[in-house]
Structure 1
Amino acid sequence: MSDDAPVEPAPAAPAPARDAPVVVAVDGSAGSDHALEWALTAARLRNAPLRIVHVRQYAMPLADGPYMPTIDHRSDADPVVDRVRGALEGRADLPPLTVEVVEGSPGRDIAPLGDEAQLLVLGSRGRGGFASLLLGSNGLACAREAACPVVVVRPDAELTAGAEPCVVLGLDPLSPHDDTIGFAFVEAALRGAVLRVVCAYPGPVLVYTATGDFVTSAEADAATAAHYTELAGEQLAPFQERNPKVRVEKEVLPGDAAGLLVDASREADLVVVGRHQSRMPLGRLMGSVTNAVLLHAKGAVGVVPPEHR
């Protein structure tokens, strides 16, 4: 992008239909309990209905026997649904909601729930023995495939009492996504939160000297930081004009973007990152930064698909 190239104004993304639900997938785990609470708040903030879905997967036995008990799939009783209904019973602050069971495979059938949703919310799961990882293969598949933004909620994040609400946006000034920026502004506006924009640039900047050595250059580093700051300001300006009540704090820092965002997530209500669309034959893939943030961030992470409206 040349310095004198005209900056196109960011297109205004149409708002989702007011009757489009927030969808939350539950499975009876503590992680899905936290996701349910997060989704309840999201639905209230949007004045949207909440659709609570349990994708139930049972292995169908090939034959009756002592090691292959027969399962009655006709029964409406479901312990996960009973747990959800028990948790919501008697609460007065509930949005319009439905609770339902879908027979199928979570890895295959959760992502399509986002086709007609404003937002798809999932709980986190550790993968294998790595407690520091945010979620497992089903969550990664949903973040990679869903048509709407996906929010993954981690249960062990606790913000400091009285801390100012904060939404963190990971912005790559060299490859910005208007839809990701717009989603972050909407979330900050709904929550009355400050929007903290984190931009990473490769640094410290090294220069080649006449003696054949590479050394750090404070001047070159400052110039790179100034260039990224200018680009970020140009990309954010149209959204700031449309959301004047959202206070924006820009941080342009040298280093690894994923590491900076994981650090920022410790004091954030939500970290927002974009999902890069892959054109490889293997199918849809997420960029390394988004993948790393999903696996290691604290709190909630929102992944916005390309061209989301």
Structure 2
Amino acid sequence: MVRAVVAGLDGSSESRAAVEWAAREGKMRGLPLKVVHVWEPVPEPMAQAPLLGAETQQHWSERIPREAVEGLRLRHPGIEITMQQSSGGAADTLVKAAADAELLALGSRGFSGIGGFMVGSVGLAVVAHAERPVVLVRAGEQAADEHQTDPAGIPSAATPYRPVVLGLDPGGPDDSLIEFAFDAAARRSAVLRVVHGWNLPPYYTYGLSVDPEYHDEIVRQQSAALSAALRPWRQKHPDIEVVEESRSGSGANHLVDASREASLVVVGRRIRRSPLGAHIGSVTHAVLHHATAPVVVVSHK
């Protein structure tokens, strides 16, 4: 079975940006695009209100997704685009749609005046439960935003892609996470920038260490661990330029900084099936809320 790139659409500007991103990604991968529109029924008392009658419900459940798909087909000829309409809980429906997807794209509202996302409850729930890669795309994201600037200093789709950024913990690297990042960089002919943040021993925080040689040894050990984790992947993908960055400090902060010059940020989420529910992880959660480029979360064991 051929997996499709799937995008969630609810009519908002952020979901429209996600659908456009998904169409470009589908074309890049040679895969069809499936647009999933979820309509959550209006409670009966509200449905009786003059502005929320049958005509309005029909508009949201039929006209908006139909027109969106028609526009996509005009803007992205050559890619097969289908639409799925469902009624019910948005998060559950999107998690089910992601199960058979190559990846799922969702919209995320951008903060006004500051870089970053505002990730809603539906987006967080899908990221926390989907076991296929989930991409969050800001409202207003354009194709040119993924590219480097032209001689006039303006991002342009005619210039090369910006780097793909991968957040990696060399202490427990996962093959699916690394493979996704290398594949994304290869498809974009982009540099892969691998970012690893680590913390010094607590006594450094309080200025109690006066041994610069020991500090330098920690730096060397962390850099060597990152290089060792990436060595087999460099050999597997010799045509990809890889930049390794192993620095002390918050991994989340380093990734957010790197996102300002990225076409895509790739982070991981460990799958944990427990009675207490799924978790995203503190670094991934921070990156989702503050990165300024599309963020893909790759679930792994």
**TM-score calculated relative to the size of structure 2:** 0.84
Within the alignment, does 1:49 sit opposite 2:25 as a pair?
Answer: no
- Could you tell me which amino acid in structure 2 is paired with residue 46 of structure 1? R
Query: CA contact under 8 A between 1:205 and 1:216: conserved in structure 2?
Result: no
SS at match of 1:199: strand
User: In structure 1, how many angstroms separate the alpha carbons of the residues matched to 2:51 and 2:19?
Assistant: 33
**Post-superposition shift, 1:44?**
1.0
**Post-superposition shift, 1:85?**
3.1
User: In structure 2, how many angstroms separate the alpha carbons of the residues matched to 1:98 and 1:300?
Assistant: 23
Within the alignment, does 1:198 sit opposite 2:195 as a pair?
Answer: yes
Against the structure 1 CA distance between its residues 96 and 245, is the aligned structure 2 distance closer, same or farther, given a 3 Å change threshold? Answer: same
Query: Deviations for 1:149-181, whole angstroms, at most 9, x for unmatched residues?
Result: 001111356454246521000011112222111
User: In structure 2, how many angstroms separate the alpha carbons of the residues matched to 1:75 and 1:61?
Assistant: 18
SS at match of 1:124: strand
Q: Which moved more, 1:152-161 or 1:278-287?
A: 152-161
Against the structure 1 CA distance between its residues 232 and 79, is the aligned structure 2 distance closer, same or farther, given a 3 Å change threshold? Answer: same
Unaligned runs of 5+ in 1: 1-16
Correspondence 1:153-302 to 2 at 5 A: 153-155=137-139, 158=145, 160=149, 161=155, 162=159, 164-203=161-200, 206=203, 214-215=208-209, 217-278=211-272, 280-302=274-296
Unaligned runs of 5+ in 2: 150-154
Against the structure 1 CA distance between its residues 264 and 215, is the aligned structure 2 distance closer, same or farther, given a 3 Å change threshold? Answer: same
User: In structure 2, how many angstroms separate the alpha carbons of the residues matched to 1:60 and 1:228?
Assistant: 55
Correspondence 1:54-133 to 2 at 5 A: 54-61=37-44, 65-66=48-49, 70-71=53-54, 78-91=62-75, 93-125=77-109, 132-133=116-117
User: In structure 1, how many angstroms separate the alpha carbons of the residues matched to 2:252 and 2:182?
Assistant: 20
Higher helix share: 2
- Could you tell me which amino acid in structure 2 is paired with residue 184 of structure 1? A
Q: Which one has the largest radius of gyration?
A: 1
Query: Number of paired residues?
Result: 287
SS at match of 1:78: helix
User: Counterpart of 2:152?
Assistant: none
- Could you tell me which amino acid in structure 2 is paired with residue 289 of structure 1? V
User: In structure 2, how many angstroms separate the alpha carbons of the residues matched to 1:198 and 1:82?
Assistant: 41
SS at match of 2:238: coil
User: In structure 2, how many angstroms separate the alpha carbons of the residues matched to 1:197 and 1:131?
Assistant: 21
Against the structure 1 CA distance between its residues 85 and 271, is the aligned structure 2 distance closer, same or farther, given a 3 Å change threshold? Answer: same
Q: Percent identity?
A: 35
- Could you tell me which amino acid in structure 2 is paired with residue 288 of structure 1? S
User: In structure 1, how many angstroms separate the alpha carbons of the residues matched to 2:50 and 2:285?
Assistant: 39
**TM-score calculated relative to the size of structure 1:** 0.82
- Could you tell me which amino acid in structure 2 is paired with residue 91 of structure 1? R
Within the alignment, does 1:35 sit opposite 2:10 as a pair?
Answer: no
Query: CA contact under 8 A between 2:192 and 2:243: conserved in structure 1?
Result: yes
Query: CA contact under 8 A between 1:202 and 1:254: conserved in structure 2?
Result: yes
- Could you tell me which amino acid in structure 2 is paired with residue 166 of structure 1? P
Query: Deviations for 1:113-168, whole angstroms, at most 9, x for unmatched residues?
Result: 111110101111369xx985431111111111112100111135645424652100
Query: Deviations for 1:206-231, whole angstroms, at most 9, x for unmatched residues?
Result: 469xxx97135432222112112211
Query: CA contact under 8 A between 1:28 and 1:83: conserved in structure 2?
Result: no
Against the structure 1 CA distance between its residues 232 and 213, is the aligned structure 2 distance closer, same or farther, given a 3 Å change threshold? Answer: closer
User: In structure 1, how many angstroms separate the alpha carbons of the residues matched to 2:8 and 2:47?
Assistant: 31
Query: CA contact under 8 A between 2:110 and 2:139: conserved in structure 1?
Result: no
Query: CA contact under 8 A between 2:73 and 2:79: conserved in structure 1?
Result: no
RMSD of Structure 2 on Structure 1 (CA): 3.0
User: In structure 2, how many angstroms separate the alpha carbons of the residues matched to 1:217 and 1:112?
Assistant: 54
SS at match of 2:44: coil
